[in-house]
Each structure stands twice: as C-alpha cells, then as structure tokens.
Amino acid sequence: MKELEREKDYLLAGLDVLERAKEWYQTQIHNITETQRQVGQSHHTTEFITCQSQMDVLLPKLQEVTRCLNNLISFSGTALQSTSLMSLSGSCSAPPQVIHILKEQNRLLTQEVTEKNECVTQLEQEKSALIKQLFEDRACNIHDSSALASTFI
C-alpha cells in the first residue's frame, strides 16, 4: 500500500507540473504569435534574431520533454501494472500469490539446472571413456605395426 500511495503522490505531483507546463506553453505560443505579428508589421529582423537565438536553446529541450512525455504516455497499463507487481515482489509485504508464483518458478528452474548438470556429468564420463578407448586402440595399433615391421625386416 505504501508503494501505491507513493506512486499516487508522484502522479499527482506530475499532474501539477503538467498544468504549470501547459500554462507556460500557452504563454510561449502567445509570445511567439505576438513577435510574429510585430516582426510582420515593423519589418525589423533584430527582434526575430533574438527570438531565434532563444529558440535555438529551447528547441532541443522542448523536443526532449515532448519525447519523454510521449514515451510515458505510450507505456501501456499492463506494463505499469507489471512494474508495480515487480516492485511489490521485492518488498517484505509481497502478496502471497506473488511469493507462491516466484517459489514455483524457482523450483522449476532449479529442477531444470539439476537435470542439465546430470546430462553434462554423463557426457563428460562418456567423453573420458571414449578418450581412454582411443588411446588404448592407438597403443594396440602401434604395437601391431611395430610387430609387422620387424617381421618384414
């Protein structure tokens, strides 16, 4: 419950920031519209140059904020729920269902690892037996070929 309450607090704080940001965006749009009107009427480019230099600084930040907000919005509800569930599973007050699921997954993974280890051990034993047999066969072939070589001499 504490995690959910904390998440709610963050969402409320974010909503407050978004409301202030909306007002700021509207003010900026109004100022740009006014500057456009003034530049159009006076035909002076100095005001436009000042406005342009400000936009050179602000534009990358605005693009980054927009990108971050779009990423946040595109997060599906299921992703947020699974994230909340995962954060709960790490806390001491995890629901019993989550603990049971995690214990079952752990048991299955441990069983799979044990089976794989047994297969590896069996394969290593077979490998050792084959290497031993190979060396024995080579030793017999060397002994046989040396006996044949001495017979021909």
The predicted-structure confidence for 123-137, as pLDDT tens digits, reads as follows: 989 998 999 899 888
Whether residue 89 contacts residue 101, with contact meaning beta carbons closer than 8 Å, is answered with: no
Q: What is the pLDDT of residue 59?
A: 86
| pTM for this predicted structure | 0.43
Compare 97 and 129 and report the one with higher pLDDT: 129
State which amino acid sits at residue 30.
H
- How does pLDDT run across 28-77, given as a tens digit for each residue? 999 889 888 888 787 655 555 555 667 778 888 888 888 888 888 887 55
